[in-house]
Structure formats: structure tokens, C-alpha cells
Amino acid sequence: MKVDFTRWLPAIAKDSYRKTALSVVGVAALGGLALAPTAAAAPVTSGPHQGAVAAIDLATGKAASAARQEDQPVESGLTTGSATGKPPAGKPSREELIPHGIEGAQSRIPLDDAQLANARAIVDAAKKTGVGERGAVIGIATSLQESKLYNLGHLGAYNDHDSQGLFQQRPSSGWGTPEQITDPEYSATAFFSALRNIGGWQDLPLTTAAQTVQVSAFPYAYAQWEEQAADLVQQLW
């Protein structure tokens, strides 16, 4: 059956109280599994569905322009710092955002309004929970890996277990109800609450801190988003 990808639209925030989640039957879930904050890691042998990233790229029209975007700055409406390398007044410094340096090759994607709104929700939750700028970088990098900063609803037969939302958290593992984990404020707060329970998380590399919370089958995948996450936090803080 031919699938019409043009009807797959990203999630948007209707207002400050109601959020809509991207719920598309036929799109595969992204990233690994977000187990409960206190759950122990279990061996996972299956990877994410190969159609996951391609499906969202097609839905947002990014697949056709991937080659053109490869050498271009992120299309987010945000800058990536001043020409002198100094942060704008009142913004966190690079040292505060990436205190341990970049781990490995970095990925970068253009962002639409829905993704930017979700990034702002994560930054706001970081402020409210007290994890600061570094915590916000970890949160945004984690969401970039898990959902490309889209607030994903249940994806039907192709869903990754019962994972949903910005962080692909699972109701069956104690993260909350489907309605809760597809609310950006709730899901980000839950992520940061779990992060704060990790002793010395501020001193951990990003991928270690994120993996300790998420217990993903792909523990090193989070590191590739650290630079873009830092750019976003610097602009949105």
C-alpha cells in the first residue's frame, strides 16, 4: 500500500496547557528504551527500526534537502554564538555547557518550530528542577537522540514497546501515564528528577549521564548531539 508521507506532520503545542503529540501509524519508534528511573539495565539485542529516522525526515521534508543541509548551519532561527567565540551577555559559556569536551563525531539537524518549542520546554524544566545549564544540555541531547525533539505519541504496531514522548519514556516502567509522558513539561521534569538522583552526575560525560537515566540499547549515541544541544541551551537560556 502506498503511504502518503506528506500527511505526517510534526507535533505542535496548541497552548501552554495542551500539547499535541505526533501519532502516526507506520512510523517506527526512535532511539532506545527509557526504563524507570530506578530500573536496572537489561540486555537488549534488537535495534531501533530502520525506518524510524527516514520516516520523520520524510514527514518534515528533510530527506530531499539532506544533501543541501550537510554543510549548512542549523535552520533553527538561532545563532551558534558570536564571531569572537564569546557567549552573548547573560548566556552560559562554552565551558559551563560542555565542561568535559565533545565526545566523538557530532551530528546536527535543522529544527522546525515544533522542535524548538520542545527544546524551550526542556530548558524551562532544567531551570525549575535546578539542574542548570549542563543538565539542560544533557536533556536536549537525550531528546535529540530519542525523538529528534518531537513529542511522539503512540505509533501503533511499530511503536518501541510503549515508549512515547520527547524522551521515549515507558508507562509500564513507571515514568507516568501516556498523557503525562507526552506532556513536554512533565516528561522533561521526570527526566531531570531521575538525573538528579545520580550521584555526581555533573562530573560525568554526557553519554554516561544520559545512559544512566535512559538505560538505552545504544548508550553511546547520545554524545553525538552534545554540540547542537549546547548551542540551543546557550541561545534559549
Ordered domains of the chain (ranges, CATH): 25-37+45-70+110-236 (1.10.530)
Instruction: Give the three-state DSSP class for 19.
Output: strand
pLDDT recorded at residue 162:
87
pTM: 0.70
pLDDT recorded at residue 38:
40
DSSP string, 20-50: --B--TTPPPPS--B--TTPPP--------T
Instruction: pLDDT tens for the chain, 237 residues: list them.
Output: 433 322 333 443 333 334 444 443 333 344 444 555 543 332 222 333 344 454 455 444 454 444 344 444 444 445 444 434 577 778 999 999 999 999 999 999 999 999 999 999 999 999 999 999 999 999 999 999 999 999 999 877 767 788 999 999 999 999 999 999 999 999 999 999 999 999 999 999 999 999 999 998 888 999 999 999 999 999 999
Phi-psi region of 74 (alpha: psi -120 to 50; beta: other; left: phi over 0): beta
pLDDT recorded at residue 71:
41
Single-letter amino acid, residue 173: S
Answer for the pair 138, 194: CB distance below 8 angstroms, yes or no. Answer: no
pLDDT recorded at residue 87:
73
Instruction: Report d(CA 41, CA 6) in Å as an integer.
Output: 38
pLDDT recorded at residue 217:
82
- In the numeric block, the cell 506532520 is attached to 9
Count the neighbouring beta carbons within 10 Å of the beta carbon of residue 181.
27
Would the CA dihedral through 170, 176, 178, 183 be positive or negative? Answer: negative
Q: How far is CA 9 from CA 75, 129, 163, 180, 234, in A?
A: 18, 31, 19, 21, 28
Instruction: Report d(CA 200, CA 176) in Å as an integer.
Output: 26
Query: What distance separates the 2 farthest-apart alpha carbons in the chain?
Result: 54
pLDDT recorded at residue 232:
98
Phi-psi region of 132 (alpha: psi -120 to 50; beta: other; left: phi over 0): left
pLDDT recorded at residue 37:
54
